[in-house]
C-alpha cells in the first residue's frame, strides 16, 4: 500500500513588542523568574486589560504580507482551563473572529521549485507562564514572566505533503516575520514554536486520515524528525489493523520519538466566550493602507527580483533572500562592486565559509559589506588576482587593514601585468628547473598542458602570488615550446 502524508502547522510567533499584550509589564527575555508579571498578567481581581496597539499592528502586517483578508472586526475570547502556569484560569485568545483571515505563503523546496501553502487564519493571544521541572526535586517551579507575552498563532491549511515541505513552510514563516521585524524569530528562546498536525491516507484517497497533533516543536530539524517518526508510527499502526486516535503527542528529541500526552480536547471543553473586559477591535481602511505602505520588500519578492533583475540563479536567489540580514548584506556588496554574480559568489563562498567556521552570524561579520564590495571591485578591475583577493579577505577578516586598497598597498599585492617583469621571472624559473624542462620536452604533446602547472606554480610563487595568472600561462607556454 502506498501512503500519503498530510500535514498542517499551527505556528506560534512571539511578537517583538516591548510590553505585554494586555499590560505594561516588560517582555524582555532572561529576567529573574517572576519579576516581570504584573497584576494584569496574573488576572488579580479588579484589574482590566488594555490591548497593546503594537501587537495589533504587527498581526496586521503579517496578514498583509501573506495576502490575507483582514476583517474589519476581530474579537478576543476567553479559553478557560486550569493549569498551574495560568493563574487567571483562562487564556485570552481569538476563537471565532481572528484578526487575520485566509491568506497564503510561497515555500521553496530543495529542488528550487515553489508551492503555495494556504493559511487558514492567524489570531492574537497571550502566552502562559512556564513550568520549571529541573532544579526542583519532586516539585515544579512556576515562572510567570512569560504570562501575557503577545503571540500570533498562524494556522495553516493541511496543504503540506512531506516533512521537507513542513520545514520549508516553517522557514518561510520565519523569513516573513523576521523581514517584517515583528519577531526576533529566535527558536532556541521559544520565540517561534509550532504544533505539528500529521495524518496519513492511502494514496489516491480524498478523505483525510485521523491526525495526531505534536505539541511545541521548537526547531526546523525537530519538525522533520517528529514528522518522520509520526508518519512511520501511524502507517505501522494502520497496517497492523489498528486505528490512529486523535490525540496530542509530545516529541522527545533525545529518544527521537513522539509519545501520547492526552486525547484531544474539543473546543466546547474550553467554554469559549467573548472576553467582557475587552472591546472588539475595529480596523478601518485608512489604518490598513497606512500599514501596507510601511511593508518592506518581502522574501518572495526579493527572491524574484534577485533572479529576474540581477540574473542570479534560483539557488543563489533563494539562499541570499532567506534572511533579511543576509539579503541586505548582499545588496550592499552588490551596490559597491556593481557585479551581482561576483557579490553572490563571495557572500556565499568565502564570507559564509568564514562565518560558519567561527560560528558568527552575518550581522557580526568582521568584514563589512563595504569592505567586501571594494575588494571585489579590485578583482574586477584587475588590480589583484583571485589568489591575492583571498589574502586580502583574510587580512580584512583579521582586522589587518581598514580597506582592500590599504591591504593591497601594505602587502604589495598589486597584480603584476607588466610582460617584461613576468618574462624575467619565467626565464629565471626555467633556468633553475633543468630536470622539469627536460621532462616537459620528452613528454607527449597532449601531456604537456598538464605539466605546465608546475612552472606556473613556481612563477606565481616567485611573484608572491601577484603575477597575472593568464599572462603567466600564455607566456610560459610560448617560452617552453620555444625550447622544444
Binding site for ligand ADP (CB under 6 A): 6-10, 155-158, 197-199, 208-209, 211
Our CB check for ligand ADP shows the closer of 6 and 472 to be 6
Residue 298: CB minimum distance to ligand ADP, A: 22
Instruction: Return the residue nearest ligand ADP (CB atom).
Output: 8
Residue 250: CB minimum distance to ligand ADP, A: 16
Distance CA 402, CA 410 (A): 11
Distance CA 359, CA 353 (A): 10
Residues 6+ apart with CB under 8 A from 181: 16, 296, 324
Residues 6+ apart with CB under 8 A from 162: 5, 7, 227
Our CB check for ligand ADP shows the closer of 79 and 302 to be 79
Answer yes or no: are the C-beta atoms of 429 and 458 closer than 8 Å: yes
Our CB check for ligand ADP shows the closer of 28 and 261 to be 261
Residue 377: CB minimum distance to ligand ADP, A: 49
Our CB check for ligand ADP shows the closer of 8 and 148 to be 8
Residue 127: CB minimum distance to ligand ADP, A: 17
Our CB check for ligand ADP shows the closer of 157 and 277 to be 157
For the stretch 280-286, contacts whose Cβ atoms lie closer than 8 Å and that sit 24 or more positions apart, written own/partner, are 280/73, 280/74, 280/75, 280/97, 281/51, 281/56, 281/73, 281/74, 281/75, 281/76, 281/99, 282/72, 282/73, 283/56, 283/60, 283/70, 283/72, 283/73, 283/74, 284/72
Smallest Cα–Cα separation from 125: which of 144, 97, 103?
A: 97
Residue 262: CB minimum distance to ligand ADP, A: 13
Residue 156: CB minimum distance to ligand ADP, A: 5
Our CB check for ligand ADP shows the closer of 109 and 155 to be 155
Distance CA 58, CA 37 (A): 22
Our CB check for ligand ADP shows the closer of 155 and 283 to be 155
Residue 107: CB minimum distance to ligand ADP, A: 15
Our CB check for ligand ADP shows the closer of 9 and 327 to be 9
| Relative orientation angle of helices 299-308 and 163-180, to the nearest 10 degrees | 100
Distance CA 111, CA 128 (A): 39
Residues 6+ apart with CB under 8 A from 72: 282, 283, 284
For the stretch 449-453, contacts whose Cβ atoms lie closer than 8 Å and that sit 24 or more positions apart, written own/partner, are 452/476, 452/477, 452/480
Our CB check for ligand ADP shows the closer of 100 and 351 to be 100
Residues 6+ apart with CB under 8 A from 7: 158, 160, 161, 162, 163, 165, 166, 196, 197, 198, 227
Residue 95: CB minimum distance to ligand ADP, A: 9
Q: Is 443 helix (H, G, I), strand (E, B) or coil?
A: coil
Residue 214: CB minimum distance to ligand ADP, A: 11
Distance CA 339, CA 437 (A): 41
Residue 236: CB minimum distance to ligand ADP, A: 17
Our CB check for ligand ADP shows the closer of 198 and 333 to be 198
**Grid coordinates representing 426?**
619565467
Residues 6+ apart with CB under 8 A from 95: 77, 79, 123, 267, 272
> What angle is formed at CA 118 by the lines to CA 113 and CA 122, rounded to 5 degrees?
135
Residue 87: CB minimum distance to ligand ADP, A: 24
Our CB check for ligand ADP shows the closer of 111 and 206 to be 206
Amino acid at each position: 500500500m502506498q501512503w500519503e502524508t498530510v500535514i498542517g502547522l499551527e505556528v506560534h510567533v512571539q511578537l517583538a513588542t516591548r510590553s505585554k499584550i494586555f499590560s505594561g509589564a516588560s517582555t524582555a527575555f532572561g529576567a529573574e523568574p517572576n519579576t516581570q508579571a504584573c497584576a494584569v498578567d496574573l488576572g488579580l481581581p479588579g484589574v482590566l486589560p488594555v490591548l497593546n496597539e503594537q501587537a495589533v499592528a504587527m498581526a496586521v502586517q503579517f496578514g498583509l504580507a501573506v495576502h490575507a483578508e483582514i476583517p474589519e472586526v476581530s474579537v478576543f475570547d476567553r479559553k478557560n482551563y486550569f493549569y498551574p502556569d495560568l493563574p487567571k484560569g483562562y487564556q485570552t485568545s481569538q476563537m471565532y473572529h481572528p484578526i487575520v483571515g485566509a491568506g497564503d505563503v510561497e515555500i521553496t523546496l530543495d529542488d528550487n521549485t515553489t508551492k503555495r501553502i494556504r493559511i487558514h487564519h492567524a489570531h492574537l493571544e497571550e502566552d502562559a507562564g512556564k513550568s520549571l521541572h529541573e532544579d526542583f526535586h519532586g516539585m515544579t517551579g512556576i515562572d510567570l514572566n512569560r504570562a501575557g507575552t503577545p503571540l500570533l498563532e498562524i494556522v495553516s491549511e493541511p496543504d503540506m505533503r512531506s516533512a521537507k515541505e513542513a520545514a520549508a513552510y516553517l522557514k518561510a514563516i520565519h523569513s516573513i516575520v523576521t523581514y517584517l521585524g515583528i519577531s526576533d524569530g529566535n527558536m532556541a528562546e521559544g520565540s517561534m514554536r509550532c504544533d505539528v498536525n500529521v495524518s496519513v491516507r492511502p494514496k489516491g484517497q480524498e478523505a483525510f486520515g485521523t491526525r495526531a497533533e505534536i505539541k511545541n516543536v521548537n526547531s526546523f530539524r525537530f519538525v522533520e524528525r517528529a514528522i518522520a517518526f509520526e508518519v512511520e508510527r501511524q502507517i505501522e499502526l494502520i497496517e497492523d489493523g489498528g486505528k490512529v486516535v486523535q490525540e496530542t503527542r509530545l516529541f522527545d528529541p533525545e529518544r527521537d520519538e513522539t509519545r501520547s500526552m492526552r486525547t484531544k480536547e474539543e473546543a466546547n471543553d474550553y467554554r469559549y466566550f467573548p472576553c467582557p473586559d475587552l472591546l472588539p477591535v475595529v480596523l478601518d481602511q485608512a489604518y490598513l493602507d497606512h500599514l501596507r505602505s510601511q511593508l518592506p520588500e518581502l522574501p518572495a519578492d526579493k527572491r524574484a527580483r534577485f533572479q529576474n533583475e540581477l540574473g542570479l540563479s534560483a539557488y543563489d536567489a533563494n539562499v541570499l533572500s532567506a534572511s533579511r540580514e543576509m539579503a541586505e548584506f548582499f545588496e550592499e556588496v552588490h551596490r559597491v562592486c556593481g557585479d551581482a554574480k561576483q557579490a553572490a559568489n563571495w557572500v556565499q563562498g568565502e564570507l559564509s565559509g568564514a562565518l560558519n567556521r567561527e560560528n558568527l552570524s552575518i550581522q557580526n561579520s568582521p568584514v563589512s559589506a563595504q569592505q567586501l564590495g571594494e575588494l571585489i571591485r579590485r578583482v574586477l578591475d584587475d588590480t589583484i588576482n583571485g589568489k591575492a583577493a583571498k589574502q586580502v579577505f583574510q587580512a580584512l577578516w583579521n582586522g589587518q587593514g581598514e580597506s582592500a586598497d590599504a591591504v593591497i598597498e601594505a602587502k604589495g599585492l598589486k597584480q603584476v601585468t607588466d610582460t617584461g617583469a613576468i618574462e624575467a621571472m619565467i626565464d629565471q624559473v626555467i633556468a633553475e628547473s633543468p630536470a622539469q624542462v627536460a621532462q616537459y620536452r620528452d613528454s607527449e604533446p597532449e601531456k604537456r598542458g598538464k605539466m605546465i602547472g608546475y612552472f606556473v606554480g613556481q612563477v606565481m610563487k616567485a611573484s608572491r602570488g601577484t603575477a597575472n595568472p593568464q599572462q603567466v600561462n600564455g607566456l610560459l607556454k610560448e617560452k617552453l615550446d620555444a625550447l622544444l
